[in-house]
Chain A
Amino acid sequence: MKINNDTIVARSTAAGFSALAVIRLSGPKSTDIINKISNIDNNFQHSRAMLTQILSRSQTIDEVMITFFRAPNSYTGEDMIEISCHGSPVIVREIIDLCISKGARMAEPGEFTKRRFLNNKIDLTQAEGINNLIHSQTKAATRSSKALLEGEIGRHLRYIKQQIIDNISLLELELDFTEEEIEHTSPDTIKSNIYKIIDAVSSLIKTYQYGRLIHSGLKIALIGPPNSGKSSLLNAIIKEERAIISSKAGTTRDFIQETIDHNGYKLTFFDTAGIRKPLDSLEHKGIDKSREIINKSDLQLLIIDSSQDHSIYNEFIPERRDNILFIVNKIDIIRNNQIHKFTSKYDIQNHIEVSALQRTNIDILNDKIISWLEDKKPESEDHIITVQRHYNVLKKTKQELQKAIQSIQNGFASEFIVTDLRHALSKLDEILGKTTNDEILNNIFSNFCIGK
């Protein structure tokens, strides 16, 4: 595998029509390529924007601003050029193709950041922060990514790590300096220390539920029997919100996916195919797909038409109700006592009454969705896990810490407890960088009087 020997190119502003777009080139051939496709004539000055024309076979494609950044003082740490051109997708495409024809390669997603990381401009936590920054499309996710980037989460993780090191030190002290005049820490104290660390790790783990939602957006499945009004509700939601992010139309037998931005949160709705439709083979596929979507969704909206036969709703009412909102539709035509009958039959405490057709209470529905999400928000917004790798590492760290508790309960000697704690440490080290034995000895020497 080669690293950094080639030159990559990509559009760095969001795709689609816009007034201006920025294309980035990074790698050793960046200046060569620009020399070949512009009239800049090798007149590159670090960090200075210069006006030039992009030419293809002597024809001007666009008038652009070029900014050159000399390695290592660039975002990626390599020679880098930013081309600021007009925002038409056709122009952008043509300039990128031109760069590729002169020796650049289309960048893979996140590759600029990867190079930045590989050239040691940033550490792994920061790289992941930037990665989140790039991928997050909404305000809340931007806030969380920034915290990650500025090391809030890094700081918190380092604090947890220091707690582990301190307890390792207490135990090592007992093992390696048994002849010293130092009072050793009782297993009970170590145990309660470890419990405290587990608590800190656990609450961080819990934040991922929220962190993941604000980062990748909320997946919402619209469920309910045919004719309950799922599609009309989805239409109503889209029409209410001007900021539609994407729209993916499927066949009626497949599913429909719509993403909107509501108060800075990314919400993606899936309209599932009716589960009770006749079972031809294509239909079958649609049903499998809808089950899959329901399983993968974070929140389900059950659309209720209480004028229908209530028993067809049996299969839609889940036992656990923490991930479902009950939407009573068609309030323009259905009477209150009918609604009441339904809600008392299924013991539904909180429901939202809407009319998809009349677009009544759609904003209330959206707000309910957001408040469902915000209920999950942890106390401190600075300490939110948004990266799956961090989440996995913390889960493993917690397991090792629990093993240490078990070892203490089994009456194992300190060297085994230390072994468990060191395993926990090495898990955290996967994000924070390795801890050497010397660091632990240093911690001991600076806190305890050793030396008989």
Chain B
Amino acid sequence: MFHVKQNKYDVIVVGGGHAGVEASLAAKRLGMKILLITISKESIARMSCNPSIGGLAKGHLVTEIDALGGEMGKAIDATGIQFKILNKSKGKAVWSLRAQADKIKYANYMQNKLDEEKVSILEDIVVGVTAKDGKITGVLTEENGKFSSQSVILACGTFLNGTITIGEDQYKGGRLNERNAQGLTSSLSKLGFKHGRLKTGTPARLKKSTLNLDKLEKQYGDKNPTPFSYFTENFNPPDIPCYITHTNKETHKIIRENLDRAPLFTGVIEGVGPRYCPSIEDKVVRFEDRNSHHVFLEPEWEDSDQIYANGISTSLPIDVQKDYIQTIEGLENSEWFYPGYAIEYDFFPSYQIYRTLETKSIQNLYFAGQINGTSGYEEAAALGLIAAINSYFKLDNKAPFILDRSNAYIGVLIDDLITKDPREPYRMFTSRAEHRLILRFDNSDRRLYKHSQRIGIVPDSFIKKVEKKIRFLKDFINYSKDNYLSPDQINPILKQNDSSTVNNGININRLLKRPEINLTDIIELLPDKYRKQFKKHSDYIDQAEVDIKYEGYIKRNQKLIDQMKKYEHVKIPDNIDFSKINTLKKECVEKLNKIKPETLAQASRISGVSPSDVTSLMIYLKK
């Protein structure tokens, strides 16, 4: 135990999950005096649910975190056991990277990182925050009393008044067999914060040695895996398979027969769960015409005997779980380490925070991760990082750090949080990003390097590398517009690719706009300086190709961004009373007064605020 009581900190991070870890590392790297308070050191960076990082849209978040100086990408590159690019049959904008994680190694990696960087860690439970004159002054802990600090980042995940439900049984807990955090919710309520209750669930962890995996379909990762991090070199991860099996009529019959014992339907569970991640009983009820659902069996770590049964999360009673699991092919004789369960926890609806993640009512208090109603390790990590950066800039009297929707998925995430009143845990999807053709997972470095430079966590060499790439791409694209290939050179290649041949020289840029022609097809025909660079940096090829092929779409998207920029820059004063604007309808006034958008653009994105409301608002602001 540290003797840290007398110290005054720049920032205290509460919670050692994925948000807390990123927040702590970023704060430390920015030179802040930081204290991380966690219930248990050994569960820092633990993956409570599925053993994977990334996936659709989430993979984008990871590369953005990486480009801004976060740790998640490096950690999963170092400890992942299977890597795969999803959506490879689609265009590059929606490709996304996903990795199976080794849960033990991943958590160890992060814990070692915190040690290496000498982040002070205290094992204790925060039971309240202290504030004076609308400004945070520190936290109260259960065992060690009061700690003062200039700012506080709350990243307490599912631990706030966490309640675990399995069938008829309910326990208090933040994860199975881990205690929850009480007191903090009421402390925040006393300061005027509103809270709600959400639910999430997790499936049983099965014993691999009791499963019959031989007859099941195996799923491997990519042959040539791609790392998440721009800093990862010599990438050569293992490729450990997952297995696929299915529920069947018998499974569904057992579930249906026991719905009267399902806490989800008997009213025991009140929190709202995510519709994109329903429990198996929910799927069986809502889609009753389906006789089968996928179950992915995912190893939780390398050489692990513990298998995560993805697709059958549940809160049904233990005996029911056992029965229906054993109807599934390959799982007939299965035993488990522990059953599936649901967890309900307190969250603080995110209209109570600014874009900086600072709370609107208490200065220097930040909310990061699931406390805002998000779900997912990646969403949490992104929010942890941004909270730390903003707490640093604020104490340093610098302009806040804001990413907008056209910069990054992180910008979309935060903007969605503060303009919505989420009813279910918020998860990122590519369809949430209206500028997704620009926000690709592989160009986070190009999109964000200027921001990274301002933050100053990433080394200069990274910035230089990105600048070099951008210069090269610009140069090559100009070259492609000004230069031609002769019919002799190109026709054999065109024939090979079933593309119509040409009689005259063809412009390289126009040639590459043909869907069936790729840059690699013509790479040998390019001058040395381009060919060599492309061969050295395979990402240059991808980027150049996308920039050329989809130029029209990208330009059009840019136009929309520019149009919206006008609204993004119209600030709405903090003290505005929307009910004074008599042309707004009542529902709209209520929403605006609750969410208190910071800009006109944000106001326009609030559901129930119509374009004519935005016009009225604009007129009012101009008066």
* A175 on the B face (CB < 8 A): yes
Residue in contact with B311 in the complex, picked from A4, A436, A452, CB distance below 8 Å: A452
* A410 on the B face (CB < 8 A): yes
* A103 on the B face (CB < 8 A): no
* A179 on the B face (CB < 8 A): yes
- Count of B interface residues, CB-CB < 8 Å: 50
* A44 on the B face (CB < 8 A): no
- Tell me the minimal C-beta distance from B288 to chain A in angstroms: 10
The distance in angstroms between the C-alpha atoms of A172 and B607, with both chains bound, is 20
A175 touches B619 (CB 8 A): no
Q: B89 to chain A: which residues have CB within 8 Å? A: 413
A118 touches B276 (CB 8 A): no
Find the B residue at minimum CB distance from A418: B431
A449 touches B86 (CB 8 A): no
Find the B residue at minimum CB distance from A173: B431
Binds A, one of B289-297, B337-345, B476-484: B289-297
The distance in angstroms between the C-alpha atoms of A412 and B552, with both chains bound, is 13
Q: Are A445 and B583 CB-contacts (below 8 A) given A172-B431, A438-B607? A: no
B276 touches A449 (CB 8 A): no
A118 touches B275 (CB 8 A): no
* B610 on the A face (CB < 8 A): yes
Binds A, one of B90-98, B365-373, B449-457, B591-599: B90-98
Interface members, chain B 75-105 (any A CB < 8 Å): 86-87, 89-91, 93-94
The distance in angstroms between the C-alpha atoms of A19 and B93, with both chains bound, is 70
* B611 on the A face (CB < 8 A): yes
Q: A124 to chain B: which residues have CB within 8 Å? A: 612
Q: Are A4 and B56 CB-contacts (below 8 A) given A176-B431, A450-B276, A451-B276? A: no
Q: Are A441 and B429 CB-contacts (below 8 A) given A413-B91, A419-B553, A452-B294? A: yes
Interface size on A, as a range, is 35 or more
The distance in angstroms between the C-alpha atoms of A438 and B420, with both chains bound, is 10
* A337 on the B face (CB < 8 A): no
A437 touches B294 (CB 8 A): no
A450 touches B275 (CB 8 A): yes
The distance in angstroms between the C-alpha atoms of A172 and B91, with both chains bound, is 13
Q: A437 to chain B: which residues have CB within 8 Å? A: 431-432, 434
* B283 on the A face (CB < 8 A): yes
The distance in angstroms between the C-alpha atoms of A120 and B582, with both chains bound, is 10
- Tell me the minimal C-beta distance from B513 to chain A in angstroms: 9
- Tell me the minimal C-beta distance from B425 to chain A in angstroms: 12
* B616 on the A face (CB < 8 A): yes
Kindly supply a per-residue 1/0 record for chain A positions 425-449, scoring 1 wherever the CB is within 8 Å of any chain B CB and 0 otherwise: 0000010011011101100010001
- Tell me the minimal C-beta distance from A117 to chain B in angstroms: 8
A441 touches B431 (CB 8 A): yes
* A416 on the B face (CB < 8 A): yes
Q: A413 to chain B: which residues have CB within 8 Å? A: 89-91, 94
* A307 on the B face (CB < 8 A): no
* A181 on the B face (CB < 8 A): yes
Kindly supply a per-residue 1/0 record for chain A positions 151-194, scoring 1 wherever the CB is within 8 Å of any chain B CB and 0 otherwise: 00000000000000000000010111111110000000000000
Find the B residue at minimum CB distance from A433: B610
* A333 on the B face (CB < 8 A): no
The distance in angstroms between the C-alpha atoms of A4 and B580, with both chains bound, is 13
Q: B87 to chain A: which residues have CB within 8 Å? A: 175, 178
The distance in angstroms between the C-alpha atoms of A225 and B57, with both chains bound, is 72
A175 touches B583 (CB 8 A): no
B516 touches A175 (CB 8 A): no
Q: A35 to chain B: which residues have CB within 8 Å? A: none
B431 touches A120 (CB 8 A): no
- Tell me the minimal C-beta distance from A318 to chain B in angstroms: 40
- Tell me the minimal C-beta distance from A13 to chain B in angstroms: 28
A3 touches B616 (CB 8 A): yes
Q: Are A3 and B91 CB-contacts (below 8 A) given A415-B437, A438-B607? A: no
* B286 on the A face (CB < 8 A): yes
* B527 on the A face (CB < 8 A): no
- Tell me the minimal C-beta distance from B587 to chain A in angstroms: 9
- Tell me the minimal C-beta distance from B298 to chain A in angstroms: 10
Find the A residue at minimum CB distance from B311: A452
* B28 on the A face (CB < 8 A): no
Kindly supply a per-residue 1/0 record for chain B positions 395-423, scoring 1 wherever the CB is within 8 Å of any chain A CB and 0 otherwise: 00000000000000000000000001000
The distance in angstroms between the C-alpha atoms of A181 and B294, with both chains bound, is 7
Q: A434 to chain B: which residues have CB within 8 Å? A: 610-611
Q: A441 to chain B: which residues have CB within 8 Å? A: 429, 431-432
Known contacts A179-B86, A416-B91; 7 additional CB pairs below 8 A are A174-B90, A175-B87, A177-B56, A414-B90, A419-B437, A419-B557, A434-B610
Q: Which residues of A contact B (CB under 8 A)?
A: 1-4, 117-120, 124, 172, 174-181, 410-416, 418-419, 422, 430, 433-434, 436-438, 440-441, 445, 449-452
18 contacts between A and B (CB under 8 A): A1-B623, A4-B582, A118-B583, A119-B582, A175-B87, A175-B430, A176-B430, A410-B515, A415-B430, A415-B437, A416-B437, A419-B437, A419-B557, A438-B607, A441-B431, A441-B432, A449-B290, A452-B296
Of all A-B residue pairs in the complex, the 5 with the closest CB atoms, nearest first, are A413-B91, A120-B585, A449-B287, A445-B275, A413-B90
